[in-house]
Amino acid sequence: MSAELRYRALLLGNWQFPGARDELPDLMGPATDLTAMRIALTDHRCGLFRPDDVRVVENAVVQQMRLEVNTFLSAAARDEQVLVYYSGHGWQTALGELHLCAYDTDLQAVRATTVSAGEINAMLQECRAKAKVVLLDCCYSGNFRHKGAAGTASFTPGQGQAVLTSSQVGVLSLDAAGAGEPSPFTRHLADALRGAARDSLGTGYLTSEDVYRYVHDQMAEAGPHRPARSHELVGDVALARAGRPATGGVLDPDISARRLAAALGRPARHRSEVLAELRVLSERAHGDWRLLAALRLGAMASAEGDRSTAIEAYGAVAGAAHPRWSSEAGYELGTQLRAAGQPERAAAAWQAVVDGADPVWSVRAAHQLGRLLTADPATTPTGLRHLRRAVAEPAAAWHLAEMLRAGPGTDEARALYRRLRAAAAQPWSDRAAARLAELDHAGGAPPSPAPIADRPVPLDHAGGALSSAPVADRFAPTDRADRAAPSSVM
């Protein structure tokens, strides 16, 4: 788990067997099982797999099944972890060998119309992936761990290989209780992968043993059926990120500081591991270290496109009333909420920052809140008031002038353009000069501007104190070096 891996999965599910309907009745679980596993593996919080790296195959004939598994495992690189999952009917031969049934399985020709555990074992042994995982939800799936007759020589996994099965050797497995439901094994497996299992090692990852323990305990409570796993692992294989810490205890301050420093100091290629560690520290670190971990988690999750994690992390810091970081977190929270299509929540987040009167972040929040509100005629007057509060920012001054120039505020707009033209703040100075030329040419009657929301403009990260002075007097050229954003590093 120390190296950065690419995670790929092949999910196979068969629930119709028209060639052997008497012996292999249609199943209710596999169709839902595939959906549950795909969602769990790609879960935004705990999943290690990108959606594009999870392939789903439904009701395949035996030739396609064999080709899919062979192609998937043969294409694996050494820096990958591969996972093969099957839900459907399993068949046990007289020698105890497991066979996975296909859409066209004919039990009068079992070896020709099924995929045997021996075939898959051979493909796994030839697979170059650093870690290999097999998850089977079918009758007699426990036999996968054995060569030949049940109970004889055990299957020997390669380096970093894990096998989890829905049943013990020679035992049947349960189908779903009803249509649209997953099977018991896959339901508990998906729950475990989405964070229900405990991170027993405190690494920020759920190992195959963590997942097995959770599934075993859940199935034991429900009845006599028990899952099984391979006991010959070399090292631990991670199946998901931890959704919660192993214990509820708070880490010692020194440990919190060391772990956070170590996480933030790791190379960029270890981003997934850093994110996992920041998740743990944002829950368990001591005092301010917990908030700083959450702030960094929000920034990294945002950069990775994980908006829900960013919103959760920034929200935790924004609500903590920290004198240094809550305003910054609240501003970023509003940005994430606006991007997520939640303008009302974004407005509330920015308003809280404005009310906090932070000399930098309140100005920025007022600017964004003003832009948001002026996009709606009903809230334009309130939006203009916020833009006036943020006018020390060149970007806010520009947006305010653009709103005013088509209405009765043309004189105020001209004053703002002149100030911007005189300021050393590009691109606003050049834009203001061009706009003044347009106004002069048109005699002060320019065409109406497009709504601000339709004209995204990069933010100038300048700060400035709030003021009640007239707009034209409050904006003045300021050297950029004097307006640097504050650092959130302790």
Among the listed residues 334, 266, 255, 256, the one whose alpha carbon sits nearest the alpha carbon of residue 293: 256
> What is the Cα–Cα distance from 403 to 185, expressed in whole angstroms?
60
For residue 244, what pLDDT is reported? 57
For residue 435, what pLDDT is reported? 87
How far is residue 71 from each of residues 61, 77, 104, measured CA to CA in Å?
Answer: 15, 12, 20
For residue 42, what pLDDT is reported? 92
Structural domain boundaries in the chain:
6-241, 248-356, 357-490
pLDDT tens for residues 140-155? 998 886 443 333 333 3
For residue 442, what pLDDT is reported? 72
Does pLDDT of 94 surpass 60? yes
Mean pLDDT value across residues 376-383: 87
276 pLDDT band, cuts 50/70/90, is: confident
> What is the Cα–Cα distance from 366 to 358, expressed in whole angstroms?
11
Q: How many CB atoms lie within 10 A of CB 411?
A: 12
249 pLDDT band, cuts 50/70/90, is: low
pLDDT tens for residues 36-62? 999 999 988 899 999 999 999 999 999
CATH topology for the 6-241 domain: Rossmann fold (3.40.50)
Mean pLDDT (the chain, rounded): 82
pLDDT tens for residues 324-373? 899 999 999 999 999 999 999 999 999 999 988 888 999 899 999 988 99
Token pair, residue 204, equals 């920020």
For residue 388, what pLDDT is reported? 85
Please indicate whether residue 110 or residue 228 has the higher confidence score (pLDDT).
110
For residue 232, what pLDDT is reported? 52
What single letter denotes the amino acid at residue 441?
H
> What is the Cα–Cα distance from 76 to 7, expressed in whole angstroms?
10
Token pair, residue 416, equals 């703002």
Sort 194 into a burial class: Cβ within 10 Å, 0-12 / 13-18 / 19+: buried
Superfamily designation of domain 248-356: Tetratricopeptide repeat domain (1.25.40.10)
pLDDT tens for residues 427-445? 888 888 888 888 887 764 4
Does pLDDT of 322 surpass 50? yes
For residue 44, what pLDDT is reported? 82
Among the listed residues 205, 206, 226, the one whose alpha carbon sits nearest the alpha carbon of residue 217: 226
Please indicate whether residue 6 or residue 45 has the higher confidence score (pLDDT).
6
Percentage of the chain beyond pLDDT 90 is 42
Measured CA angle at 285 (ends 321, 206), to 5 deg: 125
Mean pLDDT value across residues 8-36: 95
pTM: predicted TM-score of the whole model, two decimal places: 0.52
> What is the Cα–Cα distance from 160 to 157, expressed in whole angstroms?
8
Instruction: Check: CB of residue 344 under 8 Å from CB of residue 370.
Output: no
